[in-house]
Amino acid sequence: MSKKEINSDTGFVDLHVHTCFSDSTFSPQEVVLTAQEKGLRAIAITDHDCIDGISPCIRAAKNKPLEIIPGIELAVEVNNLEIHIIGLFIDYKAAWFIEKLKEIRGSRESRMRKMVKKLNDLGVDIKEQDVFVLKHDRGSVGRLHLARALLQKKAVGSIKEAFGRYIGENKPCYVKRMIVSPQESIRMIKKLGGIPILAHPGMQATDEFIPELIGYGLMGIEVYHTNHTEQISEHYRKLAKKYNLVLSGGSDCHGIGKGYPLIGKAKVPYQILDNLKIARQKEFVD
């Protein structure tokens, strides 16, 4: 398929969106409705370690002018630094991948119990059920759930305080979880026919690891992000050009889990999605 044959309509997309199946407060229906209200042409559902929100979003968007891209967000560790890899256009129905995600989510639940125990040891009045009640039955549990529970219990005054005081990296109640290697995460995404993309690089000191990740098969980089200034985005545009990486971007919306909905805040041109489709076509068809 040539570039001219790919739809290149104008408009914007959001290729990093979460649902209540990971740590967003938005149901799939609310995600689709909000995306439509923002006038978006396409969104990618990229829940943490979970694909269960994809099909409901596709159903909610049926007969609507909104394209749903199936995706995933996986955590990897490089030199003791946790970074995130997004997979776009994945075969989310692959049985082996569904089983792998169940294993990862099980480790998330074990980790959450350990973090609650640490909070209790510090005298914070919170129970496991206070956290697990906030997650979807089939979804993954994460630190944002715990932060929301702490806020509901009035143990903190804000989500930011929960992370800064208790559960952020290197804070007293932080516990590492099961993290797949960058090699494995990228291999899995490509086995699923997806494009592996480095998420929100401007939020972490990840530049020095980019060549290593490219060696494992990294294909793209998230240039557009809610927390990227134009200066940061331009920096990663230049790096993408240097390393021949395809551009991506999205809001990283978690509903109102981080204060207010972010869908569409990162202005990602539709052409970015076109280019990703072309890159995928070349990688898996040519």
Q: Residue 54: which CATH number?
A: 3.20.20.140
Q: Which residue has the higher pLDDT, 261 or 111?
A: 111
Is there a single domain that holds both residue 161 and residue 40?
no
> Across residues 234-255, what is the average pLDDT?
96
Q: What's the total number of domains in the chain?
A: 2
Asked whether residue 106 falls in the same domain as residue 90, the answer is: no
Using DSSP, state whether 194 is helix, strand or coil. coil
Find how far residue 193's CA is from the centre of its chain: 18
Average pLDDT over residues 117-125: 95
Taking all residues of the chain, what is their mean pLDDT, rounded to a whole number? 91
Rounded Cα distance between 74 and 22, Å, is: 12
Residue 242 lies in a domain: yes
Residue 270 placed within a domain:
yes
Last residue of a domain, one of 113, 139, 167: 167
Of the candidate ranges 32-41, 85-94, 137-146, 227-236, the one whose mean pLDDT is the lowest: 137-146
Q: Does 9 score more than 70 pLDDT?
A: no
Do residues 234 and 200 both lie within one domain? yes
Higher-pLDDT residue of 256, 100: 100
Considering the domain architecture, whether residues 18 and 136 belong to the same structural domain is answered as no
- Euclidean distance between CA atoms 267 and 202, whole angstroms: 16
Residues 82 and 223 in one domain: yes
Q: Are residues 74 and 106 located together in one domain of the fold?
A: no
**pTM as predicted:** 0.83
* End position of a domain, from candidates 110, 142, 167: 167
For residues 191 and 266, membership in a common domain is answered with yes
Backbone φ, ψ for residue 273 (5° rounding) = -65, -40
| Domain coverage including residue 91 | 10-95+183-284
Is the domain of 273 the same as that of 211? yes
Domain-located, residue 208? yes
Is residue 174 assigned to a domain?
Answer: no
Q: Read off the pLDDT of residues 153-162 as tens digits, 9 standing for 90 and up.
A: 999 999 999 9
- Top-confidence residue, 250 or 4: 250
231 in a structural domain: yes
Q: How far apart are the first and last CA of the chain?
A: 9
What pLDDT is stored for residue 17 in this prediction?
A: 97
pLDDT value at position 284?
A: 85
Same domain, 192 and 163: no
Distance CA 219, CA 195 (A): 6
In 3D space, the residue among 207, 224, 283, 274 whose CA is nearest the CA of residue 86 turns out to be 224
Confidence of residue 169 (pLDDT cuts 50, 70, 90): confident
